[in-house]
Chains A and B, each alone.
Chain A
Amino acid sequence: MVNPVLLIAVPLGLAFAIPLFALFWKDAAKYIPPVALAFNLVVSLLLLPKVFENPVIVSIGGWQPPFCINLVAGPVGVLFSAIIALVGLLVSIYALDYIKEGATEKYHILYLLLLTGATGVVLTGDVFNLFVFFEILCISSYALVAYLRDKSGIESAVKYLIQGAAGSSLLLIGIGLLYGQFGTLNMADIAEKITSASPISLFVPMVLLITGLGVEAAIFPLNAWLPDAHSSAPSSISAILSGIAIEVGLYAVARVIFTIFGASGILLFLAFLGIVTLLIGEMCAFSQNNIKRMLAYSSIGQIGLILFALAIATSYGVTGGLFQLISHTLGKALLFLAAGYMIYQTGSLQISALEGMGKKMPLTCLAFTIGVFSLVGLPPFIGFPSKFLIVRAALATKETIFIVLTGLALLGTVIEGAYFFRVVQVLYFKGGKINPVRKEAPVAALIPMFIFVLLIVVVGIYPKLVTDVLNSAASEFLSRTEYIEAVLGSIL
């Protein structure tokens, strides 16, 4: 029996051990994150089959729930921790070669802390712990955005920090209100008692929690920090921020809405917000010349789509939302990694500077193109089944409003296709006169990129591989009573 506590304890401990190891061997710092994350991946995958039967509940300190701080490793939590570990592992391999300048030790410490925070958020079963892990995630990401110490990095880190800190204060007020009403911090316990409370007294904490978490999840209109932060961070960090940090924010929003509040009245509003986020993100992306800003705005669009899918709140909708979440994580991480080396080669962030890259860096460009196709949703790749599921779920509700919103979502996808294909066109079909000198990205960067490509293609062809996992994850979100019983079962 593997204990899920290790998923948090091992990376946390190793993160703080990095300076110690680096005293003896200078290069140790950059090899520790891959080791820690490989460990996490193995543990998560070992846990995965077990949690389908019963969620693993760990109570820290020997008290029974709801009095202790507990971890709930249900299908959703373990699935997310596996994805976090997988993406983190691949990006840390990429960073072996990519991060050369500055205080590299500090980079690796912060990187590992960020992923610890993310894992903690998805595994915890306690609202205040959620806040603490969230802060670990946020503070380390503020610092990482400013890592390059250039003008734009510092400026966007300041923006990100101010918005993020204000958001987490709101989150804390929300938690305080919940505690004041129910006298407990355990999510399952709150969820059980919440049925007896009046809806009006719940509204304020719910709005505060969603706003606080929505800042990190970059839901419109709280997303002003995202394009700046993602485009001025180092590319490996952009990949993590875009592939993991905002997904974890969304997870927290979904957990608050579905499990704690079990709210249905707010879902339609969230579906609207999702579509608005989607359209604004895609339109802004369309008008960008800077490739990383374009990718960042496209992340906002994808977040909107996922939020919309989750807000449908049927089993198909949530499954589709989670599937889209995975496909976005893989696709966007791949795009940022590939773009990182293309920018490194050309020394410019402009899309027009990428002319003829298809001949100079064929493998990197191939990876980039596959990432693009997958995000837009072309059939052989992972983006297709996920978008297909969302559309099917939306149409299955048979409500006019959802069908109209689906139409708008598809419009967003068309815009997305337009600007992504423009980049692909620049990569391959322009600037033929430049004599092609082949200069690839280093092997340490190509390996993770092609593992991403492999995953995208394999899961795209056999979506069955993940849909079963996702189905049970979706049912965890939707059936609150089971969650409550699983956590509190021992004392009821």
Chain B
Amino acid sequence: MIGLYIILVKHNLIKVIVGLGILDTGVNLFLISVGYITKGTAPIFSGPGIDSKHMVDPVPQALVLTAIVIGVAVLALALSLAIRLHQHYGTLNLRKIREQRW
């Protein structure tokens, strides 16, 4: 939620992108916490005596892995667009970039 706040409030594009990153991380942490069991083990039958009751849920972990990859792609694209924007306007302040209006 801090990320969302940053996206809404900040004027500097780089800060907005950092906000996106924080938002992503927050969502990922939330997803992990959905499947977490206190004192759980990794969901692998690696040795005898490991009971499936104490395993953390593997599905959210798979989701987070996918979400991280997608987040990286979005951030990379956002940063490359930021570079282009800077080349065109010489500034990253979103308040000053207002070509498109109603």
Contacts and interface: CB of A to CB of B under 8 A. Distances in A.
B13 A169 contact: no
Interface stretch (A141-149, A244-252, A334-342): A141-149
Interface string B83-102: 01100110000000101101
Contact of B59 (A161, A168, A172, A185): A185
B77 A143 contact: yes
Nearest to B4: A166
Interface stretch (A11-19, A150-158, A419-427, A456-464): A150-158
B66 interface: yes
Nearest to A228: B100
B24 A169 contact: yes
Contact of B85 (A135, A158, A287): A158
Contacts of B99: 151-152, 155
Interface in B16-47: 16, 20, 23-24, 27, 30-31, 34
Interface stretch (A173-181, A358-366, A465-473, A475-483): A173-181
B34 A165 contact: no
B2 interface: no
A411 to B, nearest CB: 21
Interface in A168-201: 168-169, 172-173, 175-176, 179-180, 185
A149 B85 CA distance: 9
Contacts, number: 87
Given A146-B81, A179-B59, A161 B74 contact: yes
Q: How large is the interface on A (under 10, 10 to 19, 20 to 34, 35 or more residues)?
A: 35 or more
B102 A146 contact: no
Contacts of B27: 169, 172-173, 176
Contact of B20 (A162, A173, A179, A287): A162
A162 B7 contact: yes
A161 B31 contact: no
Given A155-B97, A166-B23, A284-B102, A176 B74 contact: no
Interface residues of B, number: 32
Contacts of B31: 172, 176, 179
Nearest to A129: B66
B100 A135 contact: no
A402 interface: no
A175 B64 CA distance: 12
Interface of B: 3-4, 7, 13, 16, 20, 23-24, 27, 30-31, 34, 59-60, 63, 66-67, 70, 73-74, 77-78, 81-82, 84-85, 88-89, 97, 99-100, 102
Identify the 5 closest CB pairs spanning chains A and B, nearest first.
Answer: A180-B34, A228-B100, A176-B31, A154-B84, A135-B70
Given A142-B81, A166-B20, 17 more contacts: A135-B73, A139-B70, A142-B77, A146-B84, A155-B85, A157-B81, A158-B81, A158-B85, A165-B78, A169-B4, A172-B31, A172-B67, A173-B27, A175-B63, A176-B27, A176-B31, A232-B100
